[in-house]
Chain A
Amino acid sequence: MKSWLTTTDHKRIGLLYFWTAFGFFLIGGTEALVIRAQLVRPEGIGVSAETFNQLFTMHGTTMIFLALMPLSAAFFNFIIPLQIGARDVAFPRLNAFSYWVFLLGGLLLNASFVAGPLFGADRLSVAPDAGWFGYANLTSRQFSPGPNVDFWLLGLQILGIASLAAGFNFIVTILNMRAPGMRMLRLPPFTWMTLITQFLVITAFPVITVALVLLMFDRFFGTHFFLPAGGGDPILWQHLFWMFGHPEVYILILPAMGIISEVLPTFSRKPLFGYTVVVYSGVVIAFLGWSVWAHHMFATGLGPIADSVFAGTTMLIAIPTGVKIFNWIGTLWGGQLRFTTALLFAVGFIAMFIIGGLSGVTHAAAPADLQQTDTYYVVAHIHYVLFGGTILGLFAGMYYWWPKMTGRMLSETLGRWHFWLTIIGMNLAFFPMHLSGLFGMPRRIYTYSADLGVTRFNQLSTIGAFIIGIATLIFFWNLLSTRRRPINAPHNPWGGATLEWAIPSPPPVYNFTVIPTVANRLPLWQTERHAPMEPLPERPPAPIHVPGGSWWPMITAFGLPVMAIGALSRLLLIVLVGAAVVIVGIYRWAYEPFET
């Protein structure tokens, strides 16, 4: 147990991320099911309006920050060092720190569900309730007097620190710790997409940090950054938020695109079609992603010139995205496709993501968007790209890399059930939302009029959501029940081409007995251009030094929620105690002997 608390091993940290994130995914999914249960009938009384508003806020916040990003991080952690031929990441303790900060931030956010009595509230839950993008000036102290929004802005600041730290770590790892011969254009596509994602993280998160700090000042210290009464402009919040928010959606999708760029070639027995184009299109998406943010603000009255510019840039970004889809199809084309569950999910990704991408193009037309934005149409878009895209991609990764991470194979039978129920469920849940939106159902409403005519669509959506729930539980059962299997997965159960498949499943603590020298993009394959790499020795030629663990990342991490609790309770002393923990933690960390 202690070894898990002090671990700095990227593989263990990856598993910690996985299970923690999956837990939050189940929580976020439960929130969604309550929302759908409420909306199955019009003018229904289920949960109160206040509770509903907390539910959709927490569903969005949890899924984005506590489930999807950390599930991707689970793979960054476990797989990246293996793919580049390294023994660990550049800064193992910083890596552990990122995990603990994530866990504690997530716990703080969710603690709000039961913290009501501590704040003298008349209800148990004071969970954030202003939407996952917390628009000013609803988030002002005047219109959101309780601690709900405080939990949100403090929790997100903490989570931002976790993401930033990981961002620096993985950029240096990927750039600086590659095995000899692993030139940049020989990197596996997942590693490339991860690198691009981390650059987006370290540039986008400071912007939301500033936005949250300014909001914190408005709420705690009486400034008027977003308050018209003092000359401030609520729209500034939207600009700052979306300057982060748009790169954030690419942060969410690029890793999943990287995963399927690995899965498709392996199960087609063909290299990724257009590797260089796929890599460069990722880079282009990252740059263009900075130019489109105000397409989230077409209804705010930016003016026709700004509307036109952002409509144009948004349409432009469809091009590199579309190019990837064609290259993925090109990978399958002419291949020998083995339909393992991983490949099913990867194909599902393509089939579903294109729908989300196309509804995105309809959003890009600013005037048309005036009928779509803030309605269930955009909820449909979001879920086709984030569920049909990111989540299906992550599931593909789970089925693909589970043997490597645990040494056990997942059940393919349960996998098929999981896949088909998920696809049926998600289409039933989210396709009708295009129509409920176009027929006039706004988003974030706890009830709707029976006269709108959208009842039937809502019923379908609810049924679909519960089917997704069942599918997910089947997957969860798959994860748990296969723990009883013996740990006997081969090095390379799927016949993959990249370095992670050259070593045992699960890998030994030092990963590689000998750091390989890489000569091409597909080291483990025989191709028309080259022979496969020589197998690595079974045992290391000399003992390999592996750094031990450390308490300081976890201890330092603890200081952050303590500071947040001090802020929540308006006790400066506690804030200072938390800060002291952080400072002492950093000093002990810095002076601790730790050889990588």
Chain B
Amino acid sequence: MPLLLAVVLVVLTACSGPFPQSALAPRSDFSTSLDHLFTNIFWWAVVVFLIVEALLLYAIGRYRARAGAAAPKPAHGHTALEIGWTLAPALILVFIAVPTMRTIFETAGNAPEGALRVEVIGHQWWWEYRYPTLGIGAANELHVPLRTPVQLEMTSADVIHSFWVPRLAGKRDLIQGRINRIEFSADSTGEYWGQCAEFCGASHANMRLRVVVQVDTAFQAWVDRQRAGPAAPAKGSPAELGQQVFRRSACIACHTITGISQGKVGPDLSHVGGRGTIAGALFPNNTETLRRWIMNAPALKPGALMTPQNLSPQDLDAVIAYLQSLK
């Protein structure tokens, strides 16, 4: 049967990992609750599916018209059956509804005392983070400590976005004028992938993010680096030349580098060298990707507000060296 074929093909394919954005490999309390709930309902659904399809297949096999067979027995209905097959689904739904309501209240997003607060502001098409209690900010790459409750307080600077890191949390929307909350506690270190999950315009597909879960010491080290000013380039180095190019280019209109520029349109670049990805977690952070991005961002990310930069090859190299030095 075609459905069987599709399922088999899919299951075979599914067996090949890895799936960095999978909702079925939870690594936090929040995503684990969701996964448990889904698994519960999924198996009920499988049971109902098998029963219904079995009945259907039996009926169409057993009751094919045969030549010379008597006319079918008249049957207009059967009250007991009707009651039965109304109550049975209702009962199954109770088994689904109770854990659902429980999980709704468990995952409502309210943080316990001592949770780490992070403000998330969605932009077309990148993510801005602020840690009000730590006095630092970040962009696109969110760092959180292991096994610590984290409370995200999310809003948007423009259109509706949705913060979705499947292995750590279900999604919630970022809406201008409102604050939505996600609360989770990651139980494994690692780098987790996420993506905007509410259509937000031309480069919705390119609005991606990373969450880096670190043990306390590593997280603290990261926080200290963010708090520190941007690394000063060594005298005479290409990075120093790059800083000068940066200062006199259009970059300063949109980006902030503490002490150098105050642009607010794009992400803060004070520590961009320390990020694993660039351009809204679209590309790995290396010389080649930086070059292509700076030269023509809209070609790589349709609609991006960052205009193509007309820098000479030497200036471009220098700026790249400078940015990479800002760890």
Contacts and interface: CB of A to CB of B under 8 A. Distances in A.
Interface stretch (A6-14, A319-327, A482-490, A555-563): A319-327
Q: Interface range on chain A: under 10, 10 to 19, 20 to 34, or 35 or more?
A: 35 or more
B193 A440 contact: yes
Interface string B166-199: 1001111101111011000000000001011111
Interface of B: 2-3, 5-7, 9-10, 13-14, 16-24, 31, 33-35, 37-38, 41-42, 44-45, 48-49, 52-53, 55-56, 59-60, 63-66, 69, 71-78, 81-82, 85-86, 89-90, 93, 96-97, 99-101, 103-105, 107-109, 124, 158-160, 162, 164, 166, 169-173, 175-178, 180-181, 193, 195-205, 208, 302-303
Contacts of B180: 300-301
A275 B71 contact: no
B69 to A, nearest CB: 6
A373 interface: yes
A506 to B, nearest CB: 28
Nearest to A430: B6
Given A303-B108, A431-B10, A439-B19, A336 B63 contact: yes
B125 to A, nearest CB: 11
B195 A424 contact: no
Given A362-B41, A457-B13, A268 B104 contact: no
Given A271-B75, A301-B181, A304-B105, A453 B171 contact: no
Contacts of B160: 135-138, 234
A367 B100 contact: yes
Contact of A351 (B42, B56, B171): B56
A445 to B, nearest CB: 3
A528 interface: yes
A446 B301 CA distance: 11
A435 B303 CA distance: 30
A542 to B, nearest CB: 38
A288 interface: no
Contact of A439 (B24, B33, B75, B204): B24
Contacts of B64: 336-337, 339
A457 B23 contact: no
B196 A442 contact: yes
A332 interface: yes
A283 B208 CA distance: 44
Interface stretch (A48-56, A96-104, A154-162, A202-210): A48-56
B75 A273 contact: yes
B175 A300 contact: yes
Given A274-B77, A311-B104, A143 B158 contact: yes
A268 B52 contact: no
B33 to A, nearest CB: 7
B97 A338 contact: no
A337 B63 contact: yes
A404 B136 CA distance: 73
Given A336-B71, A339-B64, A453 B176 contact: no
